[in-house]
A and B are shown apart, each in its own frame.
Chain A
Amino acid sequence: MKIKIALAQINPLLGDIGKNREKHLEFIEKAIENNAQIIVFPELSIAGYRLKDFTMEVALPVDSNFFNPILKQSKKIDIAFGFVERGDDSNIYNSAMYVENQSIKSVYRKIYLPTHGMFQELRFMGRGEKVTTFKTRYGNFSMLICRDLFHPSLLFLTYAQKTDIVLGMSSMPLRGVTGEKPAIQETVEKAIDTYTNFFSQFIVFVNRVGFEDGLGFYGGSFVGTPLGKKLAIAGILQEKLTFTTIDLEEIYKKRQLFPLVREEDLNIVQNNLSRILEENNGKF
Chain B
Amino acid sequence: MENFSLNYELVKKFIIEFIKEEVHSNGFNRCVLGLSGGLDSVLVAYLSKEALGKENVKAIIMPYKTSNPASKEDALVTITHLGILYETIDVTKIADAYFKKEKEMTNIRMGNFLARTRMSILFDKSREFEALVMGTSNKSELILGYSTWHGDMAASLCPIGDLYKTQIFEFAQFMKIPKKIRTKKPSADLWPGQTDEKELGAKYIQIDSILTLYVDQRKTKDEIIAMGYSQKIVESLLNRIKKTQFKRTLPPVAKFSPRTFGLDFLYPHDLTK
Contact = CB atoms under 8 A, between A and B. Distances in A.
Contact of A214 (B218, B258, B263, B266): B263
B218 A56 contact: yes
Contact of A215 (B218, B220, B263, B266): B263
Interface stretch (B85-93, B146-154, B248-256): B248-256
A99 B43 CA distance: 59
A211 interface: yes
Contacts, number: 40
Contact of B252 (A56, A173, A214): A214
A118 B264 contact: yes
B256 A213 contact: no
A176 B257 CA distance: 6
A182 B257 CA distance: 11
A266 interface: no
Contacts of B263: 117-118, 213-215
Residues of B in contact with A, size category:
10 to 19
Most chain B beta carbons < 10 A, residue from A174, A176, A214: A214
A58 to B, nearest CB: 11
B258 to A, nearest CB: 7
Interface in B105-150: none
A177 interface: yes
B255 A216 contact: yes
Contacts of B249: 213
A72 interface: no
A214 B220 contact: no
Contacts of B256: 174-177, 182, 216
Contacts of A213: 249, 252, 262-263
Nearest to A54: B242
Interface residues of A, number: 15
A211 B254 CA distance: 9
A211 B257 contact: no
A118 B260 contact: yes
B179 interface: no
Interface string A90-103: 00000000000000
A118 B255 contact: yes
Interface in B41-57: none
A165 B124 CA distance: 64
Interface string A205-216: 000000101111
A175 B255 CA distance: 7
A214 to B, nearest CB: 4
A186 interface: no
Interface string A47-76: 000000000110000000000000000000
B264 A215 contact: no
9 contacts: A56-B218, A57-B220, A117-B264, A117-B266, A175-B255, A177-B257, A213-B263, A216-B254, A216-B256
